[in-house]
C-alpha cells in the first residue's frame, strides 16, 4: 500500500523549548492511525506540522509525494483547502454562520455555483444525520451535532486525509462513540486516511495503528 503521508526527522522548537524531536513516521493510504500520549507530549504540535498548519523547525513532510515543508503560507493554505480535512476538539465553527454555511466554509473562496456548494454541504449534513439542523447556528447545536458539522466540513473539499485532534475530547461517552463510528465508517467504507490524536486508550484501540509519543518523540 502507498504512503499517503511521509514525515522525516521532524523537529519543532519554540525558542529554547523543543516539543517535537526528530520524528519520522508514515501513514498508509486508507489507514486509520492514532497518535497517543500524555498531555504535553507534542502530539497536537506534530499533527499541526503534518497537516500543514505549522512549519517544522527541521525535517520534511510530504503528502502523496508532494513536499509541503518548503511551501509558502499561501501554498500551504491552498494545500489545506484541497488536500486536507480537519476535525478539532473544540469544533472551531464560525458562530455567525449556520450549519450548512460552516460546512461549506472551505469552498467559499472557490469559484463554484452557490447552489452546488449548498447542495454538497447539505448532502454531507444528511450523511451525518443532522440535515434537519442545516439552518441552525452553532450556538443552538449540541456538542455532538457541532462535531458532526465539523466532520462534514472536513469532508466537503473531498480531502486525501483527515487530521482529527481529540475529536471526542469535549463529548460525553455516548456521543464520543457515535463520532468514532462516523470516522470508522469514513475510513472503512470510503477508504479515507485518518490521523487522529487522542489520549483515550479505548478509542485508540479501535483504530488500525497506534503511534505512541513521549516527550516529543515517537516511542512506538
Partner 1 sequence: MYYPYIIKELRHRHNRTLVNILGISFGIALFISINALSSAYKKAAGQPFKDMGADLIVQRAQKQQNNPGSQPKSMRGIRLPFSNQLFSKQDLIELKNLEDINAAAQALLLWEFTKTGFTSIMGVDLQQPALGGLKAKNWIYKGRFPDKKGEIALEKHFAKFKKIKPGSSFMISGQTFDVVGTIEIKEGAQVSAANIYMLIDDARGLLGKSTGAVNLIYLGLKDPSMQNRIKSQISSKIKGASINSSDSFLELMGGVSMISDKFSLIASMVGLLGAALLIIKTMTSNLVERSYDIGILKAMGWTRADIQKQLMVETFIQAIAGGLLGILMGYLISFLLGFLSISIPVPWEMGFVPSMAKQTQALNEIVRLPISVSVSLSASAMGLSVVIGCITGYILGKRTERMKPADIFRQL
Please identify, using beta-carbon distances, which residue of 40 and 201 lies nearer to partner 1: 40
Place of cell 503528502: 63
C-beta separation of 76 from 68 below 8 A: yes
Label residues 48-69 b or e (16+ Cβ within 10 Å = b). bbbbbbbbbeebebbbeeeebb
Q: How far is the CB of 50 from partner 1 (least distance, A)?
A: 12
Interface residues toward partner 1, by CB under 8 A: 45, 48, 53-54, 73-74, 77-82, 84, 86, 88, 90, 92-97, 101, 105-106, 108-109, 153, 157
The strand pairing partners of 35, in sequence order, are 197, 211
Please identify, using beta-carbon distances, which residue of 48 and 187 lies nearer to partner 1: 48
Please identify, using beta-carbon distances, which residue of 56 and 144 lies nearer to partner 1: 56
Please identify, using beta-carbon distances, which residue of 82 and 181 lies nearer to partner 1: 82
Please identify, using beta-carbon distances, which residue of 2 and 137 lies nearer to partner 1: 137
State how far Cα 193 lies from the chain centre.
Answer: 10
Measure the CA angle with vertex 117, ends 116 and 119; round to 5°.
60
Q: How far is the CB of 18 from partner 1 (least distance, A)?
A: 16
Q: How far apart are CA 45 and CA 170, in angstroms?
A: 19
C-beta separation of 38 from 199 below 8 A: yes
Q: Kindly state the cell numbers that stand for 158.
A: 473531498
Q: How far is the CB of 104 from partner 1 (least distance, A)?
A: 8
Q: How far is the CB of 52 from partner 1 (least distance, A)?
A: 9
Q: DSSP character for 96?
A: T
Euclidean distance between the first and the last CA atom of the chain, given in angstroms as a whole number: 21
Please identify, using beta-carbon distances, which residue of 79 and 160 lies nearer to partner 1: 79
Q: How far is the CB of 54 from partner 1 (least distance, A)?
A: 4
Q: How far is the CB of 84 from partner 1 (least distance, A)?
A: 8
Amino acid at each position: 500500500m502507498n504512503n499517503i503521508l511521509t514525515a522525516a526527522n521532524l523537529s519543532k522548537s519554540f525558542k529554547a523549548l523543543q516539543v517535537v524531536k526528530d520524528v519520522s513516521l508514515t501513514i498508509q493510504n486508507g489507514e486509520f492511525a492514532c497518535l497517543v500520549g500524555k498531555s504535553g507530549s507534542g502530539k497536537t504540535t506534530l499533527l499541526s506540522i503534518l497537516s500543514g498548519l505549522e512549519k517544522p523547525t527541521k525535517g520534511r513532510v510530504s503528502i502523496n509525494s508532494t513536499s509541503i515543508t518548503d511551501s509558502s503560507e499561501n501554498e500551504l493554505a491552498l494545500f489545506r483547502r484541497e488536500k486536507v480535512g480537519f476535525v478539532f476538539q473544540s469544533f472551531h465553527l464560525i458562530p455567525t454562520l449556520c450549519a450548512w454555511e460552516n460546512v461549506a466554509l472551505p469552498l467559499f473562496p472557490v469559484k463554484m455555483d452557490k447552489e452546488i456548494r449548498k447542495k454538497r454541504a447539505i448532502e454531507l449534513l444528511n450523511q451525518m444525520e443532522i440535515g434537519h439542523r442545516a439552518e441552525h447556528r452553532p450556538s443552538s447545536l449540541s456538542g455532538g451535532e457541532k462535531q458532526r458539522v465539523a466532520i462534514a466540513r472536513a469532508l466537503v473539499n473531498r480531502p486525501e486525509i483527515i487530521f482529527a485532534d481529540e475529536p471526542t475530547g469535549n463529548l460525553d461517552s455516548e456521543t464520543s462513540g457515535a463520532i468514532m463510528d462516523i470516522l470508522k465508517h469514513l475510513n472503512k467504507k470510503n477508504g479515507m486516511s485518518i490521523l487522529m490524536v487522542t489520549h483515550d486508550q479505548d478509542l485508540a484501540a479501535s483504530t488500525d495503528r497506534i503511534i505512541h509519543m513521549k516527550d516529543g518523540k515517537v516511542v512506538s
